[in-house]
Amino acid sequence: MRRDIEFRSAGTICRGWFYMPGSKRGSSHSPIIVMAHGFSAVKEMRLDRFAEAFAQAGLATLVFDYRGLGASDGLPRQDLDPHEQIEDYRNAISYARTLPEVDRDRIGIWGTSFSGGHVLMVAAFDKRVKAVVSQVPLIDGWEVMGGEARATMVQRQIAEREQIYAGGMPSMIPVVDNSGRPAAIGDPDAWDWFQMTSKVAPMWHNEVTFRTLERLLEHTPGRFIDRIAPTPLLVIVAEHDVLRLDIAQSAFKCAGEPKKFVVIPAGHFAPYEPPHFTTASRAAAEWFTTHLR
């Protein structure tokens, strides 16, 4: 029950998949979940698993790649801008509301990691959203990279900005690396997960622009979490995440009801893989069906 789709976002074509639930569980006008991946990742990297789980629960799902990544158009490639990605989410919602198979007034959004932060901002400002699930979210980019490493990054970004201003091309940095070179994500588990999932995602590339990291430092979606209510909010976190659990807990306290906080006893990438995928996908599906059906 999956077909390819495309829609325009700021004049650029974004591509993805549309899932319809089976006839026994769905209806002619099903609720729909709009979802996209985290930092640099593309839809083939386990988002099909979540979309299939949602479809089995009777929910239509729209999965897409951001502009400049994966199957979507857009230049420059691999240049991540959280504000543009948030705009892509909102345009995906607009597109989803045109689909004749879905109920345009029952829209949920799901995000993970980098996009787990995106959906907090989308839900805070776009009241077409009627339920939101934020999985292992980036709450505050400034806090992700602390101390000396952050100070070094800020200084390096000054040189990068001036190089681009002078007419140079953006520098590139690997997303992950296991040779000791600098990389955007230093978590050892990240190398293993991206290497594993890239085997089914040939359109993923192990690089982003260096200025992407400047934008990450400036991205603080957790500051808007108190504006989400009364839209129902589910936050799923990993107990041993490199994204600090206490930051997610503090942000969650600021959110209004209805809300729920689920802790998975594992690391950042555990929700994508068995056995913790079952916990994460089931919690999300139950949240959406409760608040959209």
From its phi and psi, is residue 136 left (phi > 0), alpha (psi between -120 and 50) or beta? left
Question: What whole-number distance in Å separates Cα of residue 32 and Cα of residue 35?
Answer: 10
**Confidence band, pLDDT 50/70/90 cuts, at residue 24:** very low
Question: What whole-number distance in Å separates Cα of residue 134 and Cα of residue 141?
Answer: 16
Cα distances (angstroms) measured from residue 30 to each of 65, 76, 118, 281? 22, 36, 24, 18
pLDDT score, position 27: 53
Beta bridge partners, 229, equal none
- Is residue 243 within 8 Å of 138, Cβ to Cβ? yes
Of 14-23, 91-100, 189-198, 222-231, give the lowest mean pLDDT range. 14-23
Residue of higher predicted confidence among 75 and 149: 75
pLDDT > 70: percent of the chain: 98
| pTM (2 d.p.) | 0.95
Output the six-digit token pair for 19: 């899932």
**Confidence band, pLDDT 50/70/90 cuts, at residue 148:** confident
As a dihedral over the C-alpha atoms of residue 17, residue 175, residue 113, residue 155, rounded to 10 degrees, the angle is -130
Question: What whole-number distance in Å separates Cα of residue 228 and Cα of residue 116?
Answer: 14
Whether pLDDT at 80 is above 60: yes
Q: What is the pLDDT of residues 177-227, one digit of tens each?
A: 999 889 999 888 999 999 999 999 999 999 999 999 999 999 999 999 999
Torsion sign (Cα): 132, 116, 73, 170: positive
pLDDT score, position 145: 79
Burial 37-58 (b: 16+ CB within 10 A, else e): bbbbbbbbbbbbebbebbbebb
Number of H helices, E strands in the chain: 9, 10
Whether pLDDT at 149 is above 90: no
pLDDT score, position 30: 95
- Is residue 54 within 8 Å of 284, Cβ to Cβ? yes
**Confidence band, pLDDT 50/70/90 cuts, at residue 174:** very high
Question: What whole-number distance in Å separates Cα of residue 62 and Cα of residue 9?
Answer: 15
Instruction: Give the homologous superfamily in CATH for domain 2-142+220-292.
Output: Alpha/Beta hydrolase fold, catalytic domain (3.40.50.1820)
Strands 12-19 and 60-64: antiparallel
Whether pLDDT at 146 is above 80: no
> What is the residue extent of each domain of the chain?
2-142+220-292
Residue type, 149: A
Mean pLDDT of 266-288: 98
Query: Environment class of residue 138 by beta-carbon count within 10 Å: exposed (0-12), middle (13-18) or buried (19+)?
Result: buried
Cα distances (angstroms) measured from residue 108 to each of 97, 157, 201, 233, 283? 11, 36, 25, 10, 14
Q: What is the pLDDT of residues 231-257, one digit of tens each?
A: 999 999 999 999 999 999 999 999 999
**Confidence band, pLDDT 50/70/90 cuts, at residue 26:** very low
pLDDT score, position 195: 96
- Is residue 238 within 8 Å of 231, Cβ to Cβ? no
Residue of higher predicted confidence among 148 and 164: 164
pLDDT score, position 23: 57
For all residues of the chain together, what is the average pLDDT? 95
Q: Which of 82, 79, 99 lies closest to 7 in space, CA to CA? A: 99
